[in-house]
């Protein structure tokens, strides 16, 4: 694992397990009040299935107001304008990351947990070209007013994974996101983890690996 910077964001970077050039890259966005180290270990199980995949797990751009040792993608009290504030920062990092790895946008997987899952959806549904897939753990769809069933760029497949007992970001928001996205032509898979609170469990992680395996070749 290395510490690298792409487009102004710094965090753990894991090169492909097979030792060669990357075929895909996963941008993995942490939750509110954490940092890239919080999710960096997830690269290992993904890499076992996708040895040609690189991983970048950047720290959010701003210190967290409630936990200055952690980072945030946007002010948690501003869910209206916050995603639009953070999106250009993430998109700049994506451009730099893809350029460095000599990959097209279609080789990108966007994934994230909680606030990072929200940003994965917010950015991934608006990228052109569309990423290979989006995986949102315990996230939510914060805005959809500019999404359309007649979009010229096809939407990427989306997997939503959520604990049934999540008291931080209620599981109902996963089902709400699916109800909004499906009529727009988005391929959406929902995975509800019984008894799970706000977190990622092994079965949810395995479900995400299987979902990606159905949509990418590595």
Cα 142 from Cα 119, distance rounded (Å): 9
**Within 13 A of 182's CA, how many CA atoms are on the CB side?**
11
Query: Coil, strand or helix: which one is 105?
Result: helix
The arrangement of secondary structure in 2-213, i.e. its CATH architecture, is 3-Layer(aba) Sandwich (3.40)
Q: How far apart are CA 29 and CA 174, in angstroms?
A: 18
Q: Residue 189: which H helix or E strand, with range?
A: strand 188-193
Q: What angle do CA 47, 48, 54 make, to 5 degrees?
A: 15
What string of pLDDT tens digits covers the 218 residues of the chain? 799 999 999 999 999 999 999 999 999 999 998 999 999 999 999 999 999 999 999 999 998 888 878 999 988 888 778 788 999 999 999 999 999 999 999 999 999 999 999 999 999 999 999 999 999 999 999 988 888 777 777 899 999 999 999 999 999 999 999 999 999 999 999 999 999 999 999 999 999 999 999 999 87
Residue 151 CB neighbours (<10 A) = 16
Domain ranges for the chain, please list them.
Answer: 2-213
Q: C-alpha angle with apex 218: 207 to 14, nearest 5 degrees?
A: 80
> Residue 136 has what pLDDT?
98
55 strand-pairing partners: 14, 26
Q: What is the pLDDT of residue 147?
A: 82
What is this structure's pTM?
A: 0.95
């Amino acid at each position: 694992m290395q510490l690298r910077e792409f487009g102004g964001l710094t965090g753990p970077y894991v090169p492909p397990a097979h030792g060669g050039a990357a075929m895909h890259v996963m941008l993995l966005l942490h939750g509110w009040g954490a940092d890239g180290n919080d999710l960096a270990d997830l690269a290992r199980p993904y890499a076992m299935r996708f040895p040609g995949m690189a991983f970048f797990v950047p720290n959010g751009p701003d210190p967290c107001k409630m936990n200055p040792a952690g980072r945030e993608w946007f002010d948690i009290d501003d869910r209206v304008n916050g995603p639009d504030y953070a999106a250009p920062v993430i998109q700049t990092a994506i451009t730099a990351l893809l350029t460095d790895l000599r990959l097209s946008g279609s080789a990108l997987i966007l994934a994230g947990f909680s606030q990072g899952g929200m940003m994965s959806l917010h950015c991934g549904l608006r990228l052109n070209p569309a990423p290979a897939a989006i995986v949102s753990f315990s996230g939510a769809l914060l805005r959809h007013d500019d999404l359309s069933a007649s979009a010229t760029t096809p939407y990427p497949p989306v997997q939503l994974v959520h604990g049934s007992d999540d008291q931080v970001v209620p599981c109902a928001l996963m089902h709400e996101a699916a109800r909004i996205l499906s009529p727009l032509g988005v391929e959406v898979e929902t995975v509800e983890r019984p008894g799970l609170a706000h977190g990622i469990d092994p079965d949810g992680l395995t479900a995400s690996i299987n979902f990606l395996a159905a949509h990418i070749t590595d």
